[in-house]
Amino acid sequence: MQQRPDLALYPEQGLKVEQYRAGRARPDGSLAPKGSFAGKSEWADPAHVLLVVEVTSHDADTDRRDRNEKRDGHAAAGIPVYLLIDRERHSLTVYSEPADGRYGNDPAFAYGEMIEIPAPVGITLDTEALKEFAT
């Protein structure tokens, strides 16, 4: 947030993501310009969202849900960046360049690396602290 004070991270903001399950998704975090969700309902249009963050769950459904269905739903909604923090694999994947319901770019990084989050976010993310949470 220090690199982009114009943005805010909104935890668990409901988004209308038509290609995901019942057309609704609640990502762990949504990065958008400050005030983007002021006065909005529980389920907001994702038009202003620049990035969504998902942290994988520790359950049998995480592969299908977090690594596939949510990723594809967010791409179909045109959300520019999907950041997946994968607790099982101790990695982060930065999905970007959505087109035709898929992300065209998806580099993965190990915990501890410095990661460039592409435009329109345009920040560098230090993931060193994630090593503390790896089990």
**Closest C-alpha to 129, from 90, 100, 102, 99:** 90
Tell me, yes or no, whether 21 lies in a domain.
yes
Domains contained in the chain, number? 1
Q: For residue 20, give its domain range.
A: 7-133
More confident residue, 121 or 131: 121
Q: What is the DSSP string of 7-73?
A: EEEEET-EEE-TTSTTTEE--SEEEEETTTTTT--SEE-GGG--EEEEE--SSTTHHHIIIIIHHHH
- Decide if 2 is inside a domain: no
Task: Name the residue among 77, 112, 119 with its Cα closest to residue 96.
Answer: 119
Residue 1 lies inside a defined structural domain of this protein? no
8-36 per-position pLDDT tens digit: 999 999 999 988 778 899 999 999 999 99
Tell me: the pLDDT tens digits for 33-81? 999 999 888 899 999 999 999 999 888 777 788 888 999 999 999 999 9
Q: What is the CATH number of the domain that holds 42?
A: 3.90.1570.10
The per-residue DSSP string of 57-97 comes to: -SSTTHHHIIIIIHHHHHHHTT-SEEEEEETTTTEEEEEEE
